[in-house]
């Protein structure tokens, strides 16, 4: 018998070797296994294009919107970059961010659904590497590598912007950017004082709705570090009342080696209103609805669905108290989506679930409650009964009938 086991193990080992699957590949999770065994031939799917072809694409929105992603270092980006018009202007997403799995996921959330990416760097090497990283992360559109990079661009006589770390853009351009996620996701950052913010702010839809980040917060070390960490890799648009405080804030962030793309809205909210664009205040979302069972089993995941409405259609998260000393807050959901969340209760009892919705701006709804009953776990109870009958095999047959054994 022992010899047969040894022979079987040898045969299995030979089969694995013959199929080219290493032991290390077997230890990978499903996602990694798929990437390593059946991944696409990357060298055949990143398309090299010339600087002149890039110029033609990025100066003609009639052929669709192409996103140029500059993956050079911060100091290179801040010194000089290619010059093409909005919305096909270059964005900055440093290569080392793409090499961080968490920040690669962030990139995919920002640009993963666009049709066409063009990746560029100084001469074409880093951009080729970045393009393959993005492709291997699951990008389904067309991805180009601009051969020659910025050096080739300049040699071909194409325009650049010197000291171009910040884009000054009009309120109309901000409106176009922040009401259409097809041109990427831009985050408006309101740097006005609190009384100005609460009096009203620009009205753009989630997820491109404005965030209040008072200018004085950016003047503190902790505030700046939090901002850089939170918005790393993002496209951020600073605005204020007239454009001066936002420009100061933009340059302050620019000077702190920000990884991302920075805009300043000229004219501020004053010009925004003058051009007929909307502003609004915020209201709390409605008390959420809870959809789920009123009875379940101990030790089993039980799913509930939470939904709400919001007058401004802001994104919402849900704060849930499960009634067993456990609470959790979900991530943000678009107001049109339902949050499906499961929970497991360990002990029998009747539990009161309490939930409230919290909108993008932190406004909280009223609470909604529901009850769920968790009876004794039948499986555990049956195990005890079975143990009793194993210990006392001569128990009366009627007991076996009663307990269903």
**Contact assessment for residue 99 and residue 93, using Cβ atoms and an 8 Å cutoff:** no
Q: φ and ψ at 327, to 5 degrees?
A: -130, 160
Just list the catalytic residues.
Answer: 121
- Using CA atoms, how far apart are residues 275 and 271, in angstroms rounded to an integer? 6
For residue 363, CA distances in Å to 133, 305, 328, 357 come to: 39, 21, 17, 8
H or E element that contains 90: strand 90-92
Determine contact, residues 321/355, Cβ cutoff 8 Å: yes
The single-letter DSSP state of residue 333 is B
Write the DSSP string, 355-383.
Answer: EEEEETTS-B---EEEEEEE---HHHHHH
Q: Which two tokens stand for residue 25?
A: 């590949």
Sequence-distant (6+) residues with CB within 8 A of 78 are 163, 164, 165, 254
Answer positive or negative: Cα dihedral of 102, 185, 315, 214: positive
Burial of residue 119 (number of CB atoms within 10 Å: 0-12, 13-18, 19+): buried
Facing residues of 316 across strands? 333, 359
Contacts of 281 (CB under 8 A, 6+ apart): 198, 199, 200, 201
Nearest Cα to Cα of residue 130 among 113, 152, 108 = 108
What phi and psi values does residue 105 have, to the nearest 5 degrees? Answer: -60, -40
Give the Cα separation of 103 and 109 in Å (integer).
Answer: 10
Q: Measured between alpha carbons, how far is 189 from 239 in angstroms, rounded to an integer?
A: 6
Q: Are 364 and 287 in contact (CB under 8 A)?
A: no
Residues shown for the chain? 405
Placement of tokens 């059946």 in the chain: 38
CA angle 5, 8, 12 (to 5 degrees): 140
Please give the structure tokens belonging to residue 249. Answer: 């804030």
């Amino acid at each position: 018998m022992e010899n047969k086991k040894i022979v079987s193990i040898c045969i299995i080992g030979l089969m694995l070797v013959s199929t080219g699957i290493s032991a290390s590949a077997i230890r990978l999770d499903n996602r990694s296994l798929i990437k390593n065994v059946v991944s696409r031939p990357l060298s055949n799917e990143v398309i090299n294009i010339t600087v002149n072809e890039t110029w033609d694409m990025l100066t003609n929105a009639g052929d669709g919107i192409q996103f140029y992603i500059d993956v050079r270092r911060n100091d290179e980006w801040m010194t000089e970059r290619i010059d093409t018009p909005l919305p096909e202007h270059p964005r900055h997403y440093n290569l080392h961010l793409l090499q961080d799995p968490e920040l690669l996921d962030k990139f995919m959330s920002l640009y993963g659904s666009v049709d066409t990416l063009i990746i560029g760097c100084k001469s074409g090497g880093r951009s080729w590497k970045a393009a393959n990283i993005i492709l291997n992360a699951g990008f389904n559109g067309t991805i180009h590598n601009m051969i020659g990079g910025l050096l080739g661009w300049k040699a071909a006589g194409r325009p650049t912007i010197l000291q171009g770390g910040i884009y000054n853009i009009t309120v109309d351009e901000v409106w176009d950017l922040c009401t259409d996620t097809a041109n990427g996701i831009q985050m408006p950052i309101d740097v006005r004082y609190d009384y100005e913010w609460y009096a009203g702010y620009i009205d753009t839809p989630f997820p491109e709705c404005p965030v209040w980040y008072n200018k004085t917060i950016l003047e503190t070390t902790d505030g700046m570090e939090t901002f850089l960490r939170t918005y790393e890799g993002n496209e951020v648009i600073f605005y204020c009342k007239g454009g001066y405080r936002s420009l100061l804030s933009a340059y302050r962030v620019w000077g702190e080696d920000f990884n991302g793309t920075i805009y300043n809205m000229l004219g501020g909210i004053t010009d925004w209103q003058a051009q007929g664009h909307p502003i609004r205040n915020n209201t709390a979302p409605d008390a959420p609805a809870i959809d789920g069972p009123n009875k379940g089993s101990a030790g089993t995941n039980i799913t509930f669905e939470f939904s709400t409405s919001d007058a401004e259609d802001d994104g919402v998260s849900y704060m849930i108290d499960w009634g067993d000393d456990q609470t959790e807050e979900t991530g943000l959901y678009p107001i049109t989506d339902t949050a499906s969340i499961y929970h497991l209760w360990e002990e029998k009892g009747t539990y009161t679930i309490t939930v409230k919705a919290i909108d993008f701006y932190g406004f909280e709804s009223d609470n909604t409650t529901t009850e769920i009953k968790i009876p004794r776990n039948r499986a555990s109870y049956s195990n005890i009964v079975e143990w009793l009958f194993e210990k006392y095999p001569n128990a009366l047959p009627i007991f076996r009938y009663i307990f269903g054994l």
